[in-house]
Each structure stands twice: as structure tokens, then as C-alpha cells.
Amino acid sequence: AQKITQTQPGMFVQEKEAVTLDCTYDTSDQSYGLFWYKQPSSGEMIFLIYQGSYDEQNATEGRYSLNFQKARKSANLVISASQLGDSAMYFCAMRTRGGKLIFGQGTELSVKP
């Protein structure tokens, strides 16, 4: 079965520090994609970063990087230099062969000043 697991319901981080949000996945497909989305209190889903299963380099987008460990089936999101505006729900998702996304339950990140 295809599944995304986010084991941290809530996380706190001090402003300007780095934080890692955990994500593990389960799939028997060889080709898949992994995504992180941010959902602030406004409700919109904001795409942050993408990693393809065949990508050898870890994806980076500004302050976001994805720590992709294929053998361990993990795709952790690292946010460097946290800002107050980073406070939001973060969802890890996997794109299946059919195209749909399977989402984890989310991690609520709170950035403290």
C-alpha cells in the first residue's frame, strides 16, 4: 500500500534556527515524486519543493531543502533560518504512478520570536 507518514503533529522552532520536518513513505513503484506543501491559516496550499525518485541530488529551493534518503524511504524537509511567517501546517505528499497525490497528516510548525 502507498502511504505517507508524518510522525510530528507539532513542532516548535526558535526564529532564525533551522528545523527538520520528518516524512517517510511507502511505495512499490520505482518512479514517484515527493512534494512538500505549506498550508498557512488562510488555507491555501503552497508548493515548496519537489524531489523525483530518480534525482540523485537533494532538491533545494531557497531556504528549503529536501533530505532524500531513498533506501530509508524518507524525504525530510529542512527549513533554514526560520522566520515567523513559516508558522503553518506542512504536508508531505507522494505523487503516484496514476498522478494523484497521497498526503501525510501534516506537521504544525510554530516559529517562536
Partner 1 sequence: GAGVSQSPSNKVTEKGKDVELRCDPISGHTALYWYRQSLGQGLEFLIYFQGNSAPDKSGLPSDRFSAERTGGSVSTLTIQRTQQEDSAVYLCASSPPGLAGQEQYFGPGTRLTVT
Comparing CB distances to partner 1, the nearer of 3 and 70 is 3
**How far from the centroid of its chain's Cα atoms is residue 33's Cα?**
12
Spatial contact of 102 and 94, defined as CB atoms under 8 Å apart:
yes
Spatial contact of 59 and 67, defined as CB atoms under 8 Å apart:
no
Residue 94 in the binding site for partner 1 (CB under 8 A): no
Segment interacting with partner 1, rule: CB under 8 A, options 11-19, 60-68, 77-85, 87-95: 87-95
Q: Residue 27: CA atoms inside 13 Å, Cβ hemisphere, count?
A: 21
Minimum CB–partner distance for residue 51 and partner 1 (Å): 10
Residue from 33, 63, 73, 74 touching partner 1 (CB under 8 A): that is 33
